[in-house]
Amino acid sequence: MDCDQRNIVNALVESYHEIGGINHLDSANLPSKRTVTATCEKLMQLLFPGFHDEEPIPADELEMITAERIAVLVETLVVEVAKTLRLRDDETGEQHRGYRQQARELVCRFLRELPAIRRLLQTDVEAAYEGDPAAKNFDEIILAYPCIEAIAIQRCAHALYELDVPLIPRIMTEYAHNLTGIDIHPGAAIGTHFFIDHGTGVVIGETSVIGNHVKLYHGVTLGARNFPKDENGRIVKGNKRHPNVEDHVVIYPHATVLGGKTVIGERSTIGANVFLRESVPPDSFVTNVGEKLNLFNKITGESVEPVDSGNDS
C-alpha cells in the first residue's frame, strides 16, 4: 500500500504552523534529556563509589577515578546548564557566550555540595536499615531499595534547584520517578534520616518541608489543597502549597496530606488512608474509622482537635 509520505509530511508541517505551544523552533537549543539522565547515573557512581560500577574500584585508584568522573561531569553539565540559562532568557546566538562561564560557576558550586549530600545519604541508608526489619545490610539497601536512588537524585536536583538552575532539576527527578515510582519535586526540602518504605506511588510536592527522621510508606501524597488563581483566572505560581512534616513523623500507606499551611507536628503518626487538610499538634495519632477522622494524643490517649489550617493563598 502506498504510504503517501509526501501528504503526511505536508499535513504535519501544516500542523506545526497551526498548532503553537508544542513546537520549539528558531530558538535556543534545549538541554539534552538523554545527557541529563546519564548525568544522574554518573552522580550515583560518585555518591556511592563501587556500588554502581561494573568493575571494582581499587582504593589506590579512587582519587584518579574520581577526578576523571568530575572532569566529565563538569564538561557535560556546563553545556546543558548553559542551554537552560539561554532558554530561560530566550537568547540565541554567539553574542551570548557569557552563559557558558555562568554555567561553569553554577556547576562548580553544585559539585562542591556532593560531600554534604553524601553525608545526608548516609543517614538515609541508616534510616532504611533501622526502619525495615527485612533489610539485611547496607549493601542491599543501596543496591536494591528504590527509595535510595530516588532520594539521592532528588537531593542532587534540590542542590541545583537552590542554585536557580532551570529545567534540569525537574528532568532529574522525573527520571527518578520513572525508575522508581517515587515522585519527589526538586524543590522539596528534606531533612536527615529520610526513609520511604516500598515507595511506589509516593508524591511529594514542590513546597513540602520534611524534617528529620521521617518515614513514609507507599502511596503517600504531600500535595496542594487548592490552586489560587489571579485576576485572569490563571493559577498563581510559586506560593507555598504543600505541607510541612516535622521530625520523627510516620505516615502510613495511601495517606493524603494537603495544604501549604498544614503542619504535621513532631512525633505524630498518620494512619493508612487518612485524608488530612488540617494541622495536627505534636504527638498526634490520626486514623480513619469509616468516613470519620479520629485524632488522639499518643501520650495521654485523649482525643484532640485538629488545627484548621484555613484556605491556602
Residue 91's pLDDT is 52
Is residue 196 scored above 90 in pLDDT?
yes
C-alpha to C-alpha distance for 174 and 149, rounded to whole angstroms: 12
Domain ranges of the chain: 24-181, 201-313
pLDDT at 93: 46
Per residue, the 3-state secondary structure of 148-170, as one string, reads: HHHHHHHHHHHHHHHCCCCCHHH
Query: Per CATH, is 24-181 categorized as 3.40.50.150?
Result: no
Query: Each residue of 134-180: pLDDT tens digit?
Result: 999 999 999 999 999 999 999 999 999 999 999 999 999 999 999 99
CA atoms within 13 A on the CB side of 90: 2
Q: How confident is the model at residue 95 (pLDDT cuts 50, 70, 90)?
A: very low
Q: Which residue has the cell 543501596?
A: 142
What does DSSP say about strands 284-289 and 292-297: parallel, antiparallel, or unpaired? Answer: antiparallel
Residue 167 CB: number of other CB atoms within 10 A? 19
- Confirm whether 24-181 and 201-313 share one CATH topology: no
Reported as a pLDDT band with limits 50, 70 and 90, residue 25 is: confident
Of the chain, the percentage scoring pLDDT greater than 70 comes to 95
Q: How far is the C-alpha of 31 from the C-alpha of 261, rounded, in Å?
A: 35
The stretch 13-40 carries a mean pLDDT of 87
User: Is 247 in contact with 214 (CB distance < 8 Å)?
Assistant: yes
Average pLDDT of span 188-211? 97
The pTM of the full predicted model, rounded to 2 decimals, is 0.90
Nine-digit cell at 1?
A: 500500500
Q: Over 60: is that where the pLDDT of 313 sits? A: no
For residues 175, 177, 181, 183, the Cα torsion angle rounded to the nearest 10 degrees is 180
CB 217 within 8 A of CB 200: no
Distance CA 225, CA 257 (A): 8
| pLDDT over 70 at 94, yes or no | no
User: What pLDDT is stored for residue 96 in this prediction?
Assistant: 56
Q: Which of 264, 278, 281 has the alpha carbon at shortest distance from 311?
A: 278
Which of 203, 93, 221, 109 lies closest to 154 in space, CA to CA? 203
Task: Return the minimum-mean-pLDDT range out of 91-105, 115-129, 205-219.
Answer: 91-105
pLDDT of residue 97: 62
pLDDT at 260: 96
What local confidence, expressed as pLDDT, does residue 241 receive?
95
Instruction: Choose between 50 and 92: higher pLDDT.
Output: 50
Give the CATH architecture of domain 201-313: 3 Solenoid (2.160)
pLDDT at 128 over 90: yes
Rounded (10°) CA dihedral 211, 138, 201, 203: 30
- pLDDT tens digits, 225-279: 877 778 887 887 889 999 999 999 999 999 999 999 999 999 999 999 999 999 9
Radius of gyration of the chain (CA): 23
Q: What is the pLDDT of residue 4?
A: 85
Strand 263-264 with 244-245, pairing: parallel
Q: Return the bridge partners of 222, or none.
A: 204, 257
